[in-house]
Chains A and B, each alone.
Chain A
Amino acid sequence: MKQTEKFDPNLPAKDPFWFRECFLMPMPLGQKAINLRELLHILREVDESVIYYHLVQSRLTVTQPVVEYPNEFALWAATALQDSKLAEKLSSFDPFDYDNMEEVRGAMVDIMEEYLWDLPSVPWAHAGFEFHFCEASMVVIRSETPANTLKDFCQGLGKVGLDSVYYHFFEARRRLGTRQLDDFSYWMETNFGLPELVKAIRDIDAYFYTLREIRDTLLVLIREHLGELCGYPQ
């Protein structure tokens, strides 16, 4: 245990934590790119919500069991363009390094422009493997009972759906407009202090984890800092 051993997990919070579930509905635009130049062209013009969908929200849709490429642009470069060098560049791109989506767009455009500049020809996808642009709408529901203590919180975290982990960990950054802030660590900080645990949570390299891995990591961190509170994960 790293944090103070005197911390009482049954200490009531000033503001209880309400887990929220979110339900994402992808909305295809009917717009597609067959090659990297087209992708770049469309990327410059689409709404920020479209870029956000393919970089972040898509992890709530049909995602493979293991994160190999952390966003859909990198996945498309690898599987449709079969351009592993571009896929590597796009995989290392982390949207949470930027303050807003306009900056994210600018940085992505730079990567692709630079990459195209040095190429003798434009990489194309086979017919049927075009990049199809989407955005998404989302319905959010508040859980029936709040977590009043860290113990309640921990037990709740072990039970809620992975979409809830997504909402509080990823969507929070967009909602709060702060790249390093998630709802979980914010609640712990403002209710209990716990600076070491809060820092450890904010240091999670979340972009490369599946939602299940993020939940497991959070619970392991809580256990490491505060001891066994909820018996999950085994």
Chain B
Amino acid sequence: MVTLSDYTAIVGEEVVGQLYRLAEALGPRRFVHVNSTRSGGGVAEILSRAVPLLNQLGLDTLWEVVQGDPDFFEVTKSFHNALQGQDVRVSQSLLEHYKDINRENARKFTWEADFVLVHDPQPAWLINEMRSQAKHWIWRCHIDVSRPNLKIWKFLQEIVSQYDASVFSMAQFAQNLPHPQYLIRPSIDPLSEKNRDLTPEEIQQVLDRLQIERDKPIILQVSRFDTFKDPVGVIQAFRMVRKHTPCKLVLAGGEATDDPEGPRTLAEVMEAAHGEPDIQVLLLPADAHHEVNALQRAADIILQKSTREGFGLTVTEAMWKGKPVIASAVGGIVLQLRDYSTGFLVNSPEGCAFRIRYLLHRPEMAARMGKMAKEFARQHFLITRTLRDYLTLLSLLENPGSQLIEL
């Protein structure tokens, strides 16, 4: 089992020591997280690591998962899409089903807590049934809600307004709510299978298995094959680079099974890559964390040419591996990359191609950027920062109305 002391070598004694001091000042508290899946997706990924660490810090922390049927997940998927701005209609009967499933789950939950952190819309309704079972209710929204669909947001807003606080990942996601809203950045775990250090042999084994030769510099984009990640734009950029400089492109990711346009996007990618031996398209399963880690570590330059992005944790992962990243100036990517410092922001396939060429011809600049990017990720976007933010948040909620509290 990973322990907090394992992080000392990565973030320093001072950071781990702060977590213990904050937790001690807060005192023993019962802290419950509720989400809708035990595995798959970024929320489950970070909870599976954060919950044991919070327990090590002396907080009695529990992770509960709401159970649902296909109709329930259909409606919550619609919520998700609507919050991201899609024009979605949900029938009244499905909305009632959403409430019913939450009621059923509430009957099974017997825990009592000082704090409950409810992740995303799926379990949000629980507060209606369980208000008295926890002193402080916090809604944690991981979704880009900068331009939500109004009808669905109004439905959820009524529920979320009952909470004592909300937490968003970016300031632009904050909403008109009658309670304090806080900002906690997403994070990655440097000791997870996706991010831990790999030996050169481990990296080579994965490359051999995926039949990737290291005969030319590797340009990589890891992401689902969906239109928002603009894989076709990546290929356009690559073709522009190839006219001048030898390199190869690896596009690695899963199929977007919940995106009706997913298969079409993949077909477009295959069409765009056709006849180009230096483009490799890899369809990886969702749990191919080790492979993704090895690919990122083998790459010379990592791209994230999304047209829309919530926060862009794939950028954080690449930065943590000390790689120069070229990514679109959208969403949380803007917060992570600064030109010539921690990476390059671009706005078009031409811009992307230009920056790839720039870095291929300046390996010393690429190395310097990668180094700065790694330090930046270390300082701001590792799981220890999330733990620190949780502890700070809980301390603040126990002292409502104070902007500065001394423990």
Q: Which residues of A160-213 have CB atoms within 8 Å of chain B's CB atoms?
A: 160-161
Contact assessment for B405 and A139 in the assembled complex, using a CB-CB cutoff below 8 Å: yes
Instruction: For the complex, count residues of B whose C-beta is within 8 A of A.
Output: 45
Given contacts A65-B342, A132-B172, A161-B14, contact A26 B403 (CB under 8 A): no
Whether the pair A23, B392 counts as a contact (CB closer than 8 A) is: yes
B372 touches A27 (CB 8 A): no
Tally of chain A residues near chain B (CB < 8 A): 35
Q: Is the interface of A mostly helix, strand, loop or mixed?
A: strand
Are A65 and B376 neighbours in the complex by a CB distance under 8 Å?
Answer: yes
Scoring B177, B335, B406 by chain A CB atoms within 10 A of each residue's CB, the highest score goes to B406
B168 contacts across to A, CB distance below 8 A: 28
- What's the least CB distance linking B1 to chain A, in Å? 27
Interface check B15, CB cutoff 8 A: yes
A49 at the interface (CB under 8 A from B): yes
* B182 x A141 contact (CB < 8 A): no
Query: Does residue A29 face the partner (Cβ distance < 8 Å to B)?
Result: yes
- Distance in angstroms from A157 CB to nearest chain B CB is 12
B395 at interface, CB cutoff 8 A: yes
- The residues of A that contact B388 with a CB separation of less than 8 Å are 23
Interface residues of B in 8-66 (CB under 8 A from A): 14-15, 18, 21-22, 25
Docked Cα-Cα span, A27 to B175, in Å, equals 11
A66 at the interface (CB under 8 A from B): yes
A141 and B21: CB pair below 8 A? yes
Pick the residue among B15, B172, B391, B395 that contacts A161 (CB under 8 A).
B15
How many inter-chain residue pairs (CB < 8 Å) link A and B?
101
Measured between beta carbons, the chain B residues less than 8 angstroms from A121 are: none
User: Of B180, B389, B406, which one neighbours A142 at CB under 8 angstroms?
Assistant: B406
CA A32 to CA B182, docked complex, whole Å: 16
Chain A, 102-143, CB within 8 A of any chain B CB: 128-130, 132-142
CB distance from A69 to the nearest CB of B (A): 11
- A-chain residues with CB within 8 Å of residue B376 when the two chains form the complex: 64-65
B272 at the interface (CB under 8 A from A): no
- Min C-beta distance of A119 to chain B, whole Å: 25
A-B contact pairs, 18 of them (CB 8 A): A23-B395, A24-B392, A25-B183, A25-B393, A25-B396, A27-B180, A30-B181, A49-B403, A129-B334, A134-B183, A135-B403, A137-B180, A137-B396, A137-B402, A139-B392, A139-B405, A139-B407, A140-B406
Q: Report the 8 A-B pairs with minimum CB-CB distance, sorted nearest first.
A: A28-B174, A132-B171, A28-B171, A30-B174, A26-B183, A23-B392, A140-B406, A139-B395
